[in-house]
Amino acid sequence: MRDHTTFRVGGPADVYARPAHREDVITLLAAAREHDVPWFVLGGGANILVADDGIRGIVIDMGSIAHCDHRGTTLIAGAGLPVSDASAYAADHALAGLDFIYSMPGSVGGAVWMNARCYDGEIYPILESVEIVTPDGALDTYTPAPEDFDYKRSPFMSNSAIMTEVRLRLDHGDPEALWRVMREHEADRRSKGHFIAPCAGSVFKNNRAFGSPSGAIIDSIGMRGTAIGGAKVSDLHANIVINTGNATATDIRRLIEHIHDQVERRTGYDLEPEVLYVGDWSSR
């Protein structure tokens, strides 16, 4: 799985499948039910840390379900489309509202799953509907409701539906102005070190519940540059953990937990991780 995650770590999956369309997803779920095999849905591989022992069951990589189109101001995107590509498509077609997410790693489906938020933008307000395959293999449409969403939370975190297509309600915009903002966002991410080494972006959620960004809190106790094995707190931003080249998933998890424990011990703040631990961690 190291080839399919932004941390560039993770052991093998028992079965790795890359469906080309929704019918393939339905077929895979039927096989999983028949043989009582668990499944894991993979988007862009961001915000996850796959165990060194890998993932048991079927990994369903949605990366080939990556179409993109629009009707009026509604953007229609396959769940596996890189979310930055969706943002670029929207800007090129004079559609505003998705520019906030440009240069963020991950897929459209992953952005909906996390209710991705950055630069004062959020997925939920522009989410029109989501085509899903239910665990029993039925094709259905989910229409968002306000009570289903919160800061970086969505209903997909608590159910097993698989997103196949997302519709986003955008506005008319000026391509040149949109690209100017998008390039500013990309430059800001570069300045924080998002692209210089394998990482998953922010390690802890950043809702400022404790009065300051999580990165500033971590920095305030002098943890920038702290390393465990091949994992290191970025020298450029304290809320980013990087793989320096030879990190294991265990190194990264130990460092994330160390940061959390040190912050809690020294400030009393209980930071909530944004990175999800995926796969077989039993040997740890």
- Write out 70-124 in H/E/C secondary structure: EECCEEEEECCCEHHHHHHHHHHCCEECCHHHCCCCCEHHHHHHHCCEECCEECH
- Rounded mean pLDDT, 37-58: 97
Residue ranges covered by each domain of the chain: 2-64, 68-177, 195-278
- Based on the residue annotation, tell me whether 129 is a catalytic residue of this protein: no
pLDDT for 44 equals 94
- Rounded mean pLDDT, 81-87: 98
Which among 122, 131, 165, 274 is annotated as catalytic? 274
3-state SS assignment for residue 42: strand
Tokens 């895979």, located at residue: 28
Region 68-177: CATH code = 3.30.465.10
pLDDT for 159 equals 86
- Rounded mean pLDDT, 143-159: 92
Whether 206 shows a pLDDT value over 90: the answer reads no
Q: Are 165 and 142 in contact (CB under 8 A)?
A: no
CA distances from 187 to 10, 182, 241 (A): 29, 9, 19
CATH topology of domain 195-278: 3.90.78
- Based on the residue annotation, tell me whether 274 is a catalytic residue of this protein: yes
| Stretch (H or E) spanning 60 | strand 55-61
pLDDT tier for residue 85 given thresholds of 50, 70 and 90: very high
pLDDT tier for residue 78 given thresholds of 50, 70 and 90: very high
Tokens 């670029």, located at residue: 88
Between the two ends of the chain, the Cα-to-Cα distance in Å is 18
pLDDT for 208 equals 67
Q: Can you tell me the distance from the alpha carbon of 238 to that of 262, in angstroms, rounded to the nearest whole number?
A: 13
Which among 107, 202, 214, 234 is annotated as catalytic? 202
Cβ-count burial of 216 within 10 angstroms (0-12 exposed, 13-18 middle, 19+ buried)?
middle
Q: Within the chain, where are the H helices?
A: 22-35, 83-92, 108-114, 175-191, 214-220, 249-267
Whether 207 shows a pLDDT value over 80: the answer reads no
Q: Which tokens belong to 85?
A: 């590509």
Query: pTM to 2 decimals?
Result: 0.93
H helices, E strands: number in the chain: 6, 18
Written out in words, the top-level CATH class of the domain with range 2-64 is alpha beta
